[in-house]
Structure 1
Amino acid sequence: MEHQPCWYAVYTRPRWEKKIAEQFARRQIEHYCPLQKARHRWSDRVKIVEEPLFRSYVFVHICLHQQQTAVRMVPGVINFVYWNGKPAVIRDEEILTIKRFLRDYTEVKAYPLQPGQKVKVVDGVMMDQEGVVEKIQGKKVYVVLDSIGYALVAEFNSQSLKPLEEG
């Protein structure tokens, strides 16, 4: 796996995600910094700005043995996110899921991972995606991406979800 490009999560200094993404682009390191539009209100105006969906995380698509040092040399990069003593590999499907969420849902928020019910989405852009749901409130459903430890929130019709059988 180390000789093929894979997605990895990189932990960054707080509020450096966009700067680091720019540095990766300059150094021709394939990366993804998921951004969402957020409304900020000041006393004299309201402004829409793009903010990172995952604070202090940027994803890189690299051959680990060839580019790990180059990634770590970028100012503001703290380290790779590790799982079982190795940089955690993020599945391509999870990156695509994040991209679909940001494309198809205007209000997406990230929440820390919490265990819950296993479900499968049976229609729509998330069709066939499996995940863990902490709770369903009205039409809001928490879809968990295991390898990065976050849940994305999107509005689903509750009929779009099917509980997975245990066992």
Structure 2
Amino acid sequence: MNWYVVYTKPKWEKKVAAQLQNNGIECYCPVVVQLRQWSDRKKKVEVPLFNSYVFVRLAENDRNAVFDNVGVVRYLFWLGKPAIVRDDEINIIKKWLNTSDSIDVEVASYHIGDSIALESGPFSTQKATIKEITNTHFVLVLESLGCVLKMKIK
């Protein structure tokens, strides 16, 4: 069985994941806790890590079963075929979200376009290219995983 990426209606990620689990489909909707502010209060809320995406693990011939759920729009495609996410990539995301370590990075000595090897944290085996540096964060491109990582500077 492979992990596929399902595109959902906006703000329906957690609802779709709950429906899929109720229908016996293995799915994963990674969430992070963010502090949100309203006019009268601040509150910690769980928000999806990837907007409008839920990962589902299915056999190829069972892929149409996800369309029985309200909020599912389509599958994400890559090069004309349904995008397949490897098990180790899902495990890296899970490991990263479960890590409570804070990663210290000194941005002053790095420049845009520099290639670096990450030495700690869940992506410690990866090489990255620095794409953007600001006062509050920096953006790394992890080409081996095909993703962009935005990290806050503490």
TM-score (norm 1): 0.71
Equivalent pair of 2:101/2:121 in contact (CA under 8 Å)? no
Which residue is equivalent to 2:139?
142
Aligned to 1:97: 92
In the alignment, the residues of structure 1 paired with residue 43 and residue 11 of structure 2 have an alpha-carbon distance, to the nearest angstrom, of 18
What is the aligned counterpart of 1:9 among 5, 10, 17?
5
Q: Which residue of 1 aligns with 2:40?
A: 44
How far does residue 6 in structure 1 lie from its aligned partner after superposition? 1.2
Residue 49 of structure 2: aligned partner: 53
**Corresponding letter in the other structure for 2:71:** G
**Structure 2 vs 1, CA of residues 50 and 72 (structure 1 numbering), >3 Å: closer, same or farther?**
same
Superposed CA RMSD in Å reads 2.9
Contact 1:90–1:147 (8 Å) recurs in 2: no
Cα distance change, pair 132–68 in 1 and its aligned pair in 2 (3 A): farther
1:62 to 43, 58, 62: 58
1:76 aligns with 2:57: no
Which residue does 1:120 correspond to in 2?
117
Structure 1 residues 13, 58: CA separation in 2 closer, same or farther (over 3 Å shift)? same
Residues 129-156 of structure 1, C-alpha deviations (whole Å, 9 max, x = no match): 2444424568955344569864232369
Distance 1:103 1:70 in 2: 30
Gaps of 5+ in 2: 103-112
Q: Could you say which residue in structure 2 is the equivalent of 1:18?
A: 14
Q: CA deviation at 1:117?
A: 5.7
Closer, same or farther: CA 15–139 of 1 in aligned 2, 3 Å? closer
Query: Letter of the aligned partner of 2:23 in structure 1?
Result: R
Distance across 1 between alignment mates of 2:152 and 2:66:
35
Q: Pick closer, same or farther for the CA change 1:124–1:44 going to 2, 3 Å.
A: closer
Q: Deviations over 1:25-55 (max 9, x none)?
A: 1011111101111111122211111011111
1:34 aligned partner: 30
Mapped contact 1:36–1:50 kept (Cα < 8 A): yes
Q: Percent identity?
A: 40
